[in-house]
Amino acid sequence: MSPMTREFSPRRIPGSDVAEYYSRRARGGVGLIITEGVAIDDPASVDHPRVPAMYGAEALAGWRAVTDAVHAGGGKIFPQLWHQGVLRNPSRAEFPEVPARRPSGFWGTPGLTSYPSEYVEAMRTPTAPMTDEDIADVVGSFARAARDAILFAGFDGIALHGAHGYLIDTFFWDVTNRRTDRYGETPKGRAAFGAEIIRAIRAEIGDTIPIMFRFSQHKQQDYEARFADTPEVLEVILGALADAGADIFDASSRRFNRPAFEGSPLTLAGWAKKLTGKPTMAVGGIGLNNWLQDTLKARNETVSIDNLDEAAGYIERGEFDFLGVGRALLNDPNWPEHVRNHEVFLNFDRSLLERLE
């Protein structure tokens, strides 16, 4: 199950409804669940006050109920630790006065985006770049969240959100990272922040707990943006993350079967596996006809399709190892059973975006 933001945790505490939501997917046959994005204890981590947190006794107890329920249903579960960085919207944040965390103070150059123009103009105003102290604080926050997720909340591994124009991703992207210190200038420098987070987490959780890292070329600031224009740049950045201790790469793409670079049919997940030798997960449009923003913006109807033979072909050829399924599982917790029994999939019920079932 691919991570999907839900915002159903008042006071950042996941309740019994959240536990039931995830356990239904485990009982329905999902092998590994990646949770929605979860706030770390940095005050600029996330905006919406109903995004769950991985800090505080009540939130950790809530997550323990979630993991217990998922394990009882036969599944494994990782939390996706999240820092929104430049995309945190202060107008809906719990602490609107806290400045955003930005590598160099820049929001990014807007291109093909789903954000309204008023929001873009407000967010484009440059802010102060992160200091070395800011960076150390955020790295520490990620490490504490990972430690508590394993030690107190009972998770089976850790997932990191390093995609879509959020904080870690903006260090990779030379449009938002214009630093001239060890965190910028070259692809290796731009990978240093993400690698430091992984090393800090690894130091807290040991060598045997898996770390999954989500990355993407596209950004919410510009869906046509890329942090790696060539496989060589991708190899430097992902290689640094793998060397730091990342075990699995979650290659987030708008379509799972889309080639990543001109002149090669390899997908983003395929390149990640080829360049690092690590297991990879592909995501994007599994079981549905369109991409995420079409669903969210109600552009055309989101209907079920059976493209699993195509997806399975990539796995059989060894291009990637896992399929991440998002909206199809939000729509139907028993979707894996329909797959196994060769049954017709349900068409997407858009009202499920507004409730937890």
User: CB within 8 A of 196, min separation 6: which ones?
Assistant: 135, 139, 244
pLDDT of res. 151? 98
Mean pLDDT of 154-181: 98
pLDDT of res. 290? 78
pLDDT of res. 296? 77
pLDDT of res. 248? 98
Would you say residue 28 lies in a domain? yes
Mean pLDDT of 125-146: 97
Looking at 156-170, 206-220, 326-340, which range is the least confident one?
326-340
Q: Looking at the DSSP assignment, which residues form a beta bridge with residue 230?
A: none
Number of neighbouring beta carbons within 10 Å of residue 80: 21
pLDDT of res. 295? 77
pLDDT band, very low/low/confident/very high, at 227 (cuts 50, 70, 90): very high
Phi, psi at 68, each rounded to 5°: -60, -45
Task: List the one residue out of 261, 262, 257, 276 whose CA is nearest residue 315.
Answer: 257
Would you say residue 182 lies in a domain? yes
Would you say residue 5 lies in a domain? no
Would you say residue 3 lies in a domain? no
Do the Cβ atoms of 16 and 65 come closer than 8 Å? yes
Mean pLDDT of 234-249: 98
Do the Cβ atoms of 49 and 11 come closer than 8 Å? yes
pLDDT of res. 288? 86
Mean pLDDT of 127-138: 97
Mean pLDDT of 305-331: 94
pLDDT of res. 344? 87
DSSP 259: B
Mean pLDDT of 155-172: 98
User: CB within 8 A of 335, min separation 6: which ones?
Assistant: 28, 29, 287, 325, 328, 329, 345, 346
* pLDDT > 90 in the chain, percent: 87
DSSP 304: B
In degrees, rounded to 5, the angle at the alpha carbon of residue 303 between the alpha carbons of residues 297 and 304 is 135
What are the pLDDT digits (tens) for 4-48? 999 999 999 999 999 999 999 999 999 999 999 999 999 999 999
pLDDT band, very low/low/confident/very high, at 303 (cuts 50, 70, 90): confident
For the chain, the average pLDDT equals 95
Do the Cβ atoms of 156 and 26 come closer than 8 Å? no
Q: What is the distance between the terminal CA atoms of the chain, rounded to a whole angstrom?
A: 15
pLDDT of res. 289? 82
Do the Cβ atoms of 311 and 343 come closer than 8 Å? no
pLDDT band, very low/low/confident/very high, at 350 (cuts 50, 70, 90): confident
pLDDT of res. 48? 96
Mean pLDDT of 177-190: 98
pLDDT of res. 114? 86
Would you say residue 126 lies in a domain? yes
Query: Catalytic residue at 22?
Result: no
Q: Per DSSP, which regions of the chain are E strands?
A: 32-39, 76-82, 158-161, 211-216, 248-252, 280-283, 322-324
Task: Provide the residue range defining the domain that includes 54.
Answer: 10-354
Mean pLDDT of 191-207: 98
Q: Give CA–CA dist 280/105, Å, rounded.
A: 32
> Residue 299: is its pLDDT beyond 90?
no
Number of neighbouring beta carbons within 10 Å of residue 112: 12
Q: Per DSSP, which regions of 30-121 are E strands?
A: 32-39, 76-82
Mean pLDDT of 107-134: 93
pLDDT of res. 81? 99
Would you say residue 4 lies in a domain? no
Would you say residue 317 lies in a domain? yes
Greatest distance between any 2 Cα atoms in the chain: 56
Q: Give CA–CA dist 25/32, Å, rounded.
A: 9
Number of separate domains in the chain: 1
CATH of the domain at 123: 3.20.20.70
Choosing from 21, 166, 183, 314, which is the catalytic residue?
166
> Residue 190: is its pLDDT beyond 80?
yes
> Residue 221: is its pLDDT beyond 80?
yes
Mean pLDDT of 89-105: 93
Per-state percent for the chain, helix, strand, coil, to nearest 5: 40, 10, 50
pLDDT of res. 302? 84
Would you say residue 2 lies in a domain? no
